[in-house]
Amino acid sequence: MSETIGTTAVKTKANSGSAQAKQKILAFSSLVILIVGFSIASPNFFQPSNIIAIMLATAVNGVLAVGVSFVIITGGIDLSIGTMMTLTAVMSAQTIVNWHLPIFAGVLVAILIGIVCGGISGVMVAKLKLPPFIATLGMNMLTKGLSLIIAHSKPIYFTDAPIFSQISMGSLLNFSEEFQIPNAVIILFVVAIIAAIVLNKTTFGRYIFAIGSNEEAARLSGINTDRWKIAAYAFCGAIVGIAGILIGSRLNSAQPALGQGYELDAIAAVVIGGTSMSGGEGTIIGTIIGAFIISTLTNGLRILSVPQEWQIVSTGIIIIFAVYLDILRRRK
């Protein structure tokens, strides 16, 4: 039976493989066009320092987008990842700064908190049958409130653990004095590679594709859809915990009021990268490309002194266009 289920899931993926390949090519072409266009428009764009800035800006959003890709492929959505990221950062700071435990313990606590929050969202969706939008919106408010309560509405600074900032801002890859790849970017790609392997080479990945393609058919095939849905949300939460570490390290503090809105950029990156909001389709490569498109667009418009409100409008237009392409692809 398990072989039949696996084969069915693989066939489901194969049927949409060509469309996904075209979507990835389109997304990558769009990224190249943006880079070339902004490079021509401003000599300050294609400079080593600015390229590093784009990569650093992509790191947190990219990690969040990788995590929520798993949920969206199941046909769900998670609106809590931004404030959940904040809660994991706050709990990490609480562990390291206030409880005086090692940095490793802070990292572990952040990931565990993410798993617990994601798992609870998964239970609400799978067992309580709440719509994902409502369940994760509630979790959004819950994690936001807990962050403010735990931190007493004040930032927690990592002044007693200066090495913590090196997690994001340190550099293990130094090509030159001007071109040093921040560790946050390296972590982004490591997370993406691991996520891609999990998504494409494991039973977990095959099952969430099957659930997203046709949940009822997956259930009738013998898949415990509730269990694997919960696992998808929990896995997303673990990755969100990593994002919490990255943003806390980058800011050298846990900001309890930060996080609201990050989920929108992450979901936008997933959609732009070709993952279907209806579920059953998606790639990690596409998600990373989508995250870079958003960062590049925002950075380029800022360099050209375009007002922030028009930057938001531009991102919105791209999201609408990406979703419309997904609808056309499904109609075919």
pLDDT at 159: 87
The domain tally of the chain equals 1
Phi-psi region of 120 (alpha: psi -120 to 50; beta: other; left: phi over 0): alpha
Cβ atoms of residues 247 and 184 within 8 Å: no
What contacts 292, CB < 8 A, 6 or more positions away? Answer: 31, 54, 58, 62
The residue assigned the tokens 């099957």 is: 210
Ranges of H-type helices in the chain: 2-15, 17-41, 48-73, 81-93, 103-126, 132-150, 166-169, 183-201, 203-213, 215-220, 225-251, 262-272, 284-303, 308-331
**Which residue segment(s) compose the domain that 112 sits in?**
2-331
CA 230 from chain centre, in angstroms, equals 17
Counting every residue, how long is the chain?
A: 332
pLDDT at 19: 64
Query: What is the Cα–Cα distance from 156 to 159, expressed in whole angstroms?
Result: 9
In this structure, which amino acid lies at residue 174? N
Cβ atoms of residues 216 and 63 within 8 Å: no
Tokens of 63: 């990690």
End-to-end CA distance of the chain: 31
What contacts 244, CB < 8 A, 6 or more positions away? Answer: 84, 85, 86, 87, 88, 89, 92, 110, 114
Q: 171 pairs with which residues across the strands?
A: none
Cβ atoms of residues 287 and 312 within 8 Å: no
This model's pTM is above 0.95: no
Per-residue pLDDT of the chain (332 residues; tens, 9 = 90+): 444 445 544 454 455 566 667 777 888 898 999 999 999 999 999 998 999 999 999 999 999 999 999 999 999 999 999 999 999 999 999 999 999 999 999 999 999 999 999 999 999 999 999 999 999 999 999 999 999 999 999 999 998 888 999 999 998 888 777 788 999 999 999 999 999 999 999 999 999 999 999 999 999 999 999 999 999 999 999 999 999 999 999 999 999 999 988 999 999 999 999 898 889 999 999 999 999 999 999 999 999 999 988 888 988 888 888 778 777 777 76
Three-state DSSP state, 254: strand
pLDDT at 16: 55
Residue 32 belongs to domain with CATH number: 1.10.3470
Tokens of 239: 């990755």
